[in-house]
């Protein structure tokens, strides 16, 4: 995976990254919001056919994740384990955590 230095680039690349997992994403529709502690918001939606879109959601999010941008980048770069980040309060998640864990496992 590319070594992302900012969230904008990762979010912009997310649909292309998810395209490789499209068959695994089929049937796992969900809407996700990422809120940074720096006040930024990113949204992504997975549709029933496995396609992924970023930007505004067509419905309310199933899960909202809150974290600092540096911790999110550390997770994306593989330097921070998502489960440990949740356990130690580096990230918080509200809503349908099963959808979130399924998304992480699928990608």
* Rounded distance between C-alpha atoms, residue 43 and residue 101, angstroms: 17
pLDDT digits (tens, 9 = 90+) for 15-40: 998 888 888 888 889 999 999 999 99
Identify the DSSP state of 17.
H
Nearest to 67 by CA among 94, 96, 48, 104: 94
pLDDT at 106 over 70: no
Residue 38 makes CB contacts below 8 A (sequence gap 6+) with 68, 69
- Residue 65: pLDDT band (50, 70, 90) is very high
**Domain ranges, ordered by start, for the chain:** 7-102
Can you give the pLDDT at residue 107? 55
Can you give the pLDDT at residue 24? 87
Mean pLDDT of all residues in 37-64: 93
Q: For the purposes of burial, counting CB atoms within 10 Å of the CB of 107, is it exposed (0-12), middle (13-18) or buried (19 or more)?
A: middle
Q: What is the CATH topology of the domain spanning 7-102? A: Nonspecific Lipid-transfer Protein; Chain A (3.30.1050)
Kindly list the distances between the CA atom of residue 16 and the CA atoms of 26, 50, 54, 66, 78, in Å, as whole numbers in the listed order. Answer: 15, 12, 11, 23, 19
Can you give the pLDDT at residue 1? 58
Can you give the pLDDT at residue 39? 97
């Amino acid at each position: 995976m590319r070594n992302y230095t900012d969230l904008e680039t990762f979010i912009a690349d997310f649909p292309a990254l998810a395209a490789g997992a499209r068959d695994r994403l089929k049937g796992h529709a969900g809407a996700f919001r990422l809120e940074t502690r720096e006040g930024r918001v990113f949204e992504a939606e997975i549709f029933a056919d496995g396609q992924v879109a970023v930007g505004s959601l067509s419905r309310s999010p199933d899960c909202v994740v809150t974290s600092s941008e540096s911790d999110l980048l550390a997770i994306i770069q593989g330097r921070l384990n998502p489960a440990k980040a949740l356990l130690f309060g580096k990230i918080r998640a509200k809503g349908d955590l099963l959808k979130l864990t399924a998304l992480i496992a699928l990608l």
